[in-house]
Amino acid sequence: MLVVMKAQATQEEIQAVCEHIEQLGFRAHPLPGAQRTAIGITGNQGEVDRGNLEALSGVAEVIRVSKAYKLASRDVKEEDTVIRFAGIGNHPDAAIGGRNLAIIAGPCSVESREQAFAIAELVAASGAQFFRGGAYKPRTSPYAFQGLGVEALRIMAEVRERFGLRIVTEAIDNETLDLVAEWADVVQIGARNMQNFSLLKRAGQLRKPVLIKRGLSATLEEFLMSAEYVMSEGNYQVILCERGVRTFADHTRNTLDLSIIPAVRRVSHLPILVDPSHGTGKRDSVLPMARAAVASGADGIMVEVHDHPEKALSDGPQSIYPGQFAVMMDELEKIAPVVGRNLPRGIRIGAGAA
């Protein structure tokens, strides 16, 4: 159910409607729009009585939302969600969603301070605004490298200050969620946890952006329902990320399903990124798929970059070289305007005096 407020409704009227909803045992989600505010109603005790709501002051109309996902639906919020990040030091502010493409780059795992700094410097120099690096790694084998944990979080906090890069890193359970939320700018929920509903609910109680990677066999509806889990708890800063699904095809590690980009745009207001590294698993497919992602309308790219991929503790074969990353940025910058986008390249270190 969605309550659409009149354009001229006051904050008090909005507040009163929300309180009325909560008294009925439901949850109210005020969603400000360009013209007017809408209030999403969620809960699992059946439906709110419509008549009473329509009689409240400031209410324009009450609409039934027929899709399984409510708050994630474009029916509830027509305008694209843009998640904004303040500037760090003298580095400009940034956003995910909206006109500017967001580029998240970095190693699969943070392996050492030296490695993280070396890669961060290179990706910042090419214009990335976000740094990715695994602190807690969900590995198929219990005997594989599991990440440096909190040490990696501390290293990334330094990276943040030094290079003005926002930090995106994965939480793998409720315990690490709190730690990651403390240190990072964006909390990532990995593909294997896309339907870890307990974790999603806890992420919904954060007031930090949450990036959800599509599960290996998740349908569009399931993907949006995972976003809905986070949003239903009051955290509306959700970013989606396509990273390939599992099929019979064996020329790539996963099959990157770019057609989900226009499909998400159609039904949801949430931003969606593409990870061509996991999406292909092969270094020489990363650039072609990054270009394709932007051309298909994605809001940005999340990509693994490593200065010595052959020595990487995880995902070496799919990590691109810094030089390839620079080429990718140049290519994306040229494709962006074709789809009405812009690739901001930040303060390019070393782009220098020129």
In the Cβ-directed half-sphere of 19, how many Cα atoms lie within 13 Å?
Answer: 8
With CB under 8 A as the contact rule, the residue among 23, 66, 90, 141 that binds a second copy is 141
Closest to a second copy by CB, 216 vs 326, is 216
**CA-closest candidate to residue 308, choices 114, 103, 129, 153:** 114
Cβ atoms of 37 and 14 closer than 8 Å: yes
Size of the site for a second copy (CB under 8 A): 76
Cβ atoms of 58 and 9 closer than 8 Å: yes
Query: Is residue 268 a contact residue for a second copy (CB under 8 A)?
Result: no
- Residues 82-111, interacting with a second copy (CB under 8 A): none
Query: What does DSSP say about strands 130-132 and 166-171: parallel, antiparallel, or unpaired?
Result: parallel
With CB under 8 A as the contact rule, the residue among 56, 146, 157, 308 that binds a second copy is 146
Cβ atoms of 190 and 170 closer than 8 Å: yes
Query: Is residue 260 a contact residue for a second copy (CB under 8 A)?
Result: yes
CB of 185 to a second copy, least distance (A): 23
Query: Is residue 236 a contact residue for a second copy (CB under 8 A)?
Result: no
Query: Is residue 292 a contact residue for a second copy (CB under 8 A)?
Result: yes
Contacts for 291 with CB less than 8 Å, ≥ 6 apart? 328, 331, 332, 335
CB of 147 to a second copy, least distance (A): 11
CB of 283 to a second copy, least distance (A): 10
If one counts every other C-beta atom within 10 angstroms of the C-beta of residue 92, the result is 13
Q: Please state, in angstroms and as integers, the Cα–Cα distance from residue 71 to each residue in 81, 220, 276, following that order.
A: 11, 15, 28
With CB under 8 A as the contact rule, the residue among 140, 207, 310, 352 that binds a second copy is 140
CB of 87 to a second copy, least distance (A): 30
For residue 301, give the amino acid letter.
I
Q: Which residues of 255-274 are buried (b: 16+ CB within 10 A; e: fewer)?
A: bbbbebbeebbebbbbbbbb
- Residues 332-351, interacting with a second copy (CB under 8 A): 334-335, 337-339
With CB under 8 A as the contact rule, the residue among 32, 52, 284, 317 that binds a second copy is 284
Closest to a second copy by CB, 159 vs 238, is 238
Query: Is residue 352 a contact residue for a second copy (CB under 8 A)?
Result: no
With CB under 8 A as the contact rule, the residue among 37, 188, 193, 314 that binds a second copy is 193
- Residues 4-63, interacting with a second copy (CB under 8 A): 42-44
CA dihedral 347, 291, 279, 209 (to 10 degrees): 40
CB of 335 to a second copy, least distance (A): 6
In the Cβ-directed half-sphere of 227, how many Cα atoms lie within 13 Å?
Answer: 31
Question: What tokens appear for 201 in the block?
Answer: 């609910």
Closest to a second copy by CB, 166 vs 237, is 237
- Residues 299-318, interacting with a second copy (CB under 8 A): none
CB of 126 to a second copy, least distance (A): 17
